């Protein structure tokens, strides 16, 4: 590995793509130029591997942190897997079902959805991502996926009844009111890491549940240890609450211009927004391209 090599971790939603699944044309170009310059670029996403959209994957990356830190891959090698025990999974699903919440469970390469979850999820995502005054029309310069999330990810999901009891790293849940997160956190917070805010427009109506201590920051350490790269040479860019630990623990943490206030407060610096060449500008500023 070259002495100047940096390892760069990029969040997906709100960092590489916006709520319409669009990206600035400078983003894939920045990633490709950085890799050509000898740097390593990794995804660091709350999505599972199966949920990474084709137009994101085709950019080309050196590996990925997925399921919010549940899994870490270097190239095609799965180097770390932080999954729940069977007892924890049962306790988690018992609470979510008792609360009447829709949810899905993320494994390394598959997602297992409760009845009604996918219809609920895609409806809420469409409602939040497509306000009347901000559609994909009129911005042909942006990289826009040919297929919607619904179609592109149709094969990624299976019934929750088929979920293995030893391979689940994270759950995402949806409710119909702003107190869903509060209720789940109260009942599961001592046993799990429970966060909200990764789907910003849903507020407290949604949340994510992972094993205690599992997050993107921990998975970044797994990747860096495997590569033999010191943390000081790691760069992380993100926008949401599930990026807090990786931004704090990497040598350089950069918040997107569209990031939440909590993310901007913890980051070392701020770049521009997701569609305003945020990744490109950050890479240029630090000599990565």
Predicted model pTM: 0.90
Q: Is 124 helix (H, G, I), strand (E, B) or coil?
A: helix
pLDDT of 13 = 93
**Domain end position, chosen among 176, 191, 211:** 211
Cβ atoms < 10 Å from Cβ of 154: 11
CATH number at residue 138: 3.30.1240.10
Q: Inform me whether the pLDDT recorded for 97 exceeds 90.
A: yes
Distance CA(197)–CA(206), nearest Å, equals: 8
pLDDT of 138 = 42
Q: Inform me whether the pLDDT recorded for 52 exceeds 60.
A: yes
For the chain, give the mean pLDDT.
Answer: 90
Query: pLDDT, tens digit, for every residue of 117-146?
Result: 888 877 776 666 544 444 444 444 555 455
pLDDT of 135 = 43
**Domain end position, chosen among 180, 195, 211:** 211
CATH number at residue 57: 3.40.50.1000
pLDDT band at 21 (very low <50, low <70, confident <90, very high): confident
If asked whether residues 202 and 244 sit together in one domain, one would say no
Share of the chain above pLDDT 70, in %: 87
If asked whether residues 90 and 171 sit together in one domain, one would say yes
If asked whether residues 161 and 243 sit together in one domain, one would say no
pLDDT of 177 = 87
DSSP state of 143: B
If asked whether residues 97 and 192 sit together in one domain, one would say yes
Q: Inform me whether the pLDDT recorded for 215 exceeds 80.
A: yes
If asked whether residues 160 and 260 sit together in one domain, one would say no
If asked whether residues 74 and 126 sit together in one domain, one would say no
If asked whether residues 43 and 130 sit together in one domain, one would say no
**Domain end position, chosen among 211, 240, 260:** 211
Q: Which domain holds residue 248?
A: 7-82+215-285
Split into its structural domains, the chain has a count of: 2
Distance CA(128)–CA(40), nearest Å, equals: 33
Distance CA(117)–CA(123), nearest Å, equals: 10
Residue 2 domain flag: no
Q: Inform me whether the pLDDT recorded for 248 exceeds 80.
A: yes
If asked whether residues 176 and 245 sit together in one domain, one would say no
Cβ atoms < 10 Å from Cβ of 130: 12
pLDDT of 148 = 52
If asked whether residues 39 and 97 sit together in one domain, one would say no
pLDDT of 84 = 98
The least confident of 31-35, 123-127, 146-150, 202-206 is 146-150
Query: In 153-275, which ranges are continuous DSSP H helix?
Result: 180-188, 216-227, 244-249, 261-266
Residue 170 domain flag: yes
CA distances from 60 to 21, 31, 274 (A): 17, 8, 18
If asked whether residues 78 and 91 sit together in one domain, one would say no
Distance CA(113)–CA(99), nearest Å, equals: 16
Residue 174 domain flag: yes
If asked whether residues 226 and 195 sit together in one domain, one would say no
Q: Inform me whether the pLDDT recorded for 217 exceeds 80.
A: yes
Distance CA(187)–CA(198), nearest Å, equals: 20
If asked whether residues 76 and 120 sit together in one domain, one would say no
Q: Inform me whether the pLDDT recorded for 149 exceeds 60.
A: no
């Amino acid at each position: 590995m070259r002495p100047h090599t940096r390892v760069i971790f990029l969040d997906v939603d709100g960092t590489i793509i916006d709520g319409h699944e669009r990206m600035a044309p400078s983003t894939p170009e920045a990633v490709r130029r950085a890799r050509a310059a000898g740097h390593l670029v990794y995804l660091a996403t709350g999505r599972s591997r199966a949920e990474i959209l084709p137009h994101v994957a085709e950019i080309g990356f050196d590996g990925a942190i997925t399921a919010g830190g549940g899994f870490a891959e270097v190239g095609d090698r799965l180097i770390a897997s932080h999954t729940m025990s069977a007892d924890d999974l049962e306790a988690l699903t018992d609470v979510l079902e008792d609360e009447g919440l829709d949810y899905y469970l993320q494994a390394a390469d598959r997602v297992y959805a409760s009845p009604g979850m996918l219809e609920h999820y895609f409806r809420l995502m469409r409602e939040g991502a497509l306000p009347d005054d901000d559609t994909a029309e009129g911005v042909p310069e942006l990289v826009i996926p040919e297929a919607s999330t619904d179609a592109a990810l149709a094969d990624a999901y299976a019934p929750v009844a088929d979920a293995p009891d030893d391979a689940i790293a994270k759950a995402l849940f949806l409710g119909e009111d702003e107190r869903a997160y509060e209720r789940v956190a109260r009942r599961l917070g001592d046993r799990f890491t429970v966060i909200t805010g990764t789907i910003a427009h849903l507020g407290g109506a949604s949340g994510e549940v992972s094993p205690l201590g599992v997050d993107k920051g921990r998975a970044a350490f797994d990747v860096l240890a495997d590569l033999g790269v010191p943390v000081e040479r790691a760069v992380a860019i993100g926008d949401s609450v599930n990026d807090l630990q990786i931004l704090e623990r990497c040598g350089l943490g950069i918040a997107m211009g569209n990031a939440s206030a909590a993310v901007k407060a913890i980051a070392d610096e701020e770049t521009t927004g997701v569609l305003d060449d945020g990744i490109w500008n950050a890479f240029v500023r630090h000599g990565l391209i």
